Amino acid sequence: MKIKSVDYFSLIKVLFQGLGISLLFSLFIYTEYFDLTSKAINSLMALVAFYLLLTVSRRFLIITGAFVGLLWFYWIGYSFEYYHVGWMAPFITLFFILLYALFFGIAGITTNPFYRAGIFFVLSYVEPMDWNWLQMELPFVNSYMGIEKWQYALILFSLALFVYLSKIERYRLYRFGALLLLLGSLDYDTSRLSEPDLKIKLYAPMLLQEEKWVKGNRRQIIEENFRAINSAIQKRYDLIVLPESAFPLFLNKNPFLIMQLKKHSQRIDIITGALLVKDGLHYNVSYHFSKGEMTIAKKMVLVPFGEYVPLPKFLREWVNTTFFDGSSDFVTADAPTDFMVKGIKFRNAICYEATCDEIYQGDPDYLIAISNNGWFYPSIEPTLQRLLMQYYAKRYHTIIYHSANMGGTGIVRGDS
């Protein structure tokens, strides 16, 4: 029997073309990371990427998806080092490569540009394993195009019509007319959001994850937090926001710290992240101290595999015990929590929550987000997180005040 020889040239061609499309689809993340963002370039590259996704064969789609999984999420495995299972990091990366190879490959079941456009539109609603950080509209977030679902649908239809007309000789002359539909998907919103009449300090520490939870470092971390609070008081800030788990302990079990924070809150509102334990259950929470009073906001949306395991119960318990030392078992709140600061309402969000629709219920004007990005340092994670926040800020017309450890601190506006 004659064995077919491997066509290495074709294989290399598929790999490089798939890589090329994935680079076009991902370019906006890396230009933002290196502070080289251009709306014109982002618009053009994203449109070309989607055009190619509508035209290439299935094998190109699979390779494209694999590289997208790598380029967007290579950093996720970093956090497993802190669960003492760092050996899993390359397997986590491989999982996301395979996941998005399948995700994009689904569109290859048809070559019809309209059907394929429909598939990519439906995929914009799909969150595999409850993981929603690949939003199909996100490449347009810093472009001239809008990011609403109807605008995304119009972009796909315009490109699909262009592809369809290009294949028919008698209509080929009119194919560029299809691109005129893109004018309808431009972002024409010129309204400006009003910031609250408050002076807000966003504290941005740079504390490595491996140092954060060492008991010997706890005193120094606490002292630095209070130095930041006192500095904000001296500079007459109305509110200081400290990151997620800024106090790396179960704060409700430390009455002395609570007393000190309540005392300082007579002069400035304080919002900080820390842990809470109640009735044997663990919560990732925000604490708000104001005028000597303390309120607590529990996290509502947990990070898949980081704070809960999105698997059936019999598998969830085994995975949690085997790979996470039982620590991926946080409990959630049933609804979003709002804080009142000098009569102004702020929606609370802890890290992943700020990139989820659920936390924007009721279209809040202002949102305070706290994160600990030390889990994924160094990587593009803070950049991707900020772009996702900008995406949701645009959709819900919200201004986000984000305090993060190890990168990402700043104000994210939906009108920027």
Q: In what side-by-side order are the strands of the sheet with 399-405?
A: 338-341, 344-350, 366-372, 399-405, 410-413
- Amino acid 234 reads Q
Q: Which of 298, 299, 307, 394 does the annotation list as catalytic?
A: 299
Rounded to whole angstroms, the Cα distance separating 373 from 242 reads 13
Task: Write out the E strands in 308-394.
Answer: 338-341, 344-350, 366-372
Intra-chain end-to-end CA distance of the chain, in Å: 64
- Amino acid 98 reads L
Q: Is 351 a known active-site residue?
A: yes
Residue showing tokens 């969830």: 316
Token digits for 364?
A: 């809040």
Rounded to whole angstroms, the Cα distance separating 262 from 226 reads 12
- Beta bridge partners, 277, equal 282
Q: Is 210 a known active-site residue?
A: no
353 within 8 A of 388, measured Cβ to Cβ: no
Q: In what side-by-side order are the strands of the sheet with 200-202?
A: 200-202, 239-241, 269-278, 281-290, 293-298
DSSP 8-class letter at 375: G
Phi/psi-derived region of residue 284, left when phi > 0, alpha when psi is between -120 and 50, beta in every other case: beta
Rounded to whole angstroms, the Cα distance separating 160 from 178 reads 9
Q: Which of 307, 351, 353, 381 does the annotation list as catalytic?
A: 351
> In 3D, which of 78, 382, 14, 348 has the Cα closest to residue 210?
78
Residue showing tokens 């790598």: 70
Q: Which of 32, 137, 212, 244 does the annotation list as catalytic?
A: 244
Contacts of residue 320, defined as CB under 8 A and 6 or more positions apart, other chains included, come to 309, 326, 327, 328, 329
Rounded to whole angstroms, the Cα distance separating 194 from 248 reads 34
Q: Is 299 a known active-site residue?
A: yes
Enumerate the active-site residues.
244, 299, 351
